[in-house]
Chains A and B, each alone.
Chain A
Amino acid sequence: AQSVTQLGSHVSVSEGALVLLRCNYSSSVPPYLFWYVQYPNQGLQLLLKYTSAATLVEGINGFEAEFKKSETSFHLTKPSAHMSDAAEYFCAVSGGSGNTPLVFGKGTRLSVIA
């Protein structure tokens, strides 16, 4: 079984500041891990994914995440926040390769202050 915990339902940062969104996972098998972003009234868009290759994963819009097995973490970072980054972010885990359902965290709403 898999589960995801996202620490902080709401994170607020100033424009230009570091963005750090936390995600910890639990999985009984080697996990695949994902970050999705959801803008208001839109569907989920994949930011990046970890599928057992490089532990540091680069995604779209300047985001990256590092898989740390020892900490069971997959935190999302971006060096400099932009106003357009304001959205809901979801971390998700699946049970590895093949078609397996995603298990999502509850999400973190990111606000960016000018």
Chain B
Amino acid sequence: GAGVSQTPSNKVTEKGKYVELRCDPISGHTALYWYRQSLGQGPEFLIYFQGTGAADDSGLPNDRFFAVRPEGSVSTLKIQRTERGDSAVYLCASSTRDSPDTQYFGPGTRLTVL
């Protein structure tokens, strides 16, 4: 079946601009996670949704980052006033209620802030 999809696959923007990154989880998966992977590092947790609500947003680095999941399926990660340090691969993962410990990852969105 279809896996986690993320769009766009690549995004280049200028410092100070606003960007939106989209994640479409596996159908029926109730939990959705966002991670950020900087060059040469492992993924770092940003935020986790259970259904429509953010259950844990402790990984968001500052208030320029925000994420929504209005209908409990697709999620959008929003970054305001982008900075060069925001350049990274943003990964999305989803999991089921029956097997919550197993997260399935999408291919990621590579964000480059010039």
Contact = CB atoms under 8 A, between A and B. Distances in A.
Interface stretch (A62-70, A76-84, A104-112): A104-112
Contact of A106 (B41, B55, B101, B106): B41
Contacts of B93: 44
Interface residues of A, number: 26
A99 B31 contact: yes
Contacts of B25: none
Contacts of A102: 33, 35, 43, 45, 103
Interface residues of B, number: 28
B45 A43 contact: no
A51 B101 contact: yes
A93 to B, nearest CB: 11
A57 B44 CA distance: 25
Interface of A: 4, 9, 32, 36, 41-46, 49, 51, 90, 92, 94, 97-107
Interface of B: 3-4, 31, 33, 35, 40-45, 48, 50, 55-56, 59, 91, 93, 95, 100-108
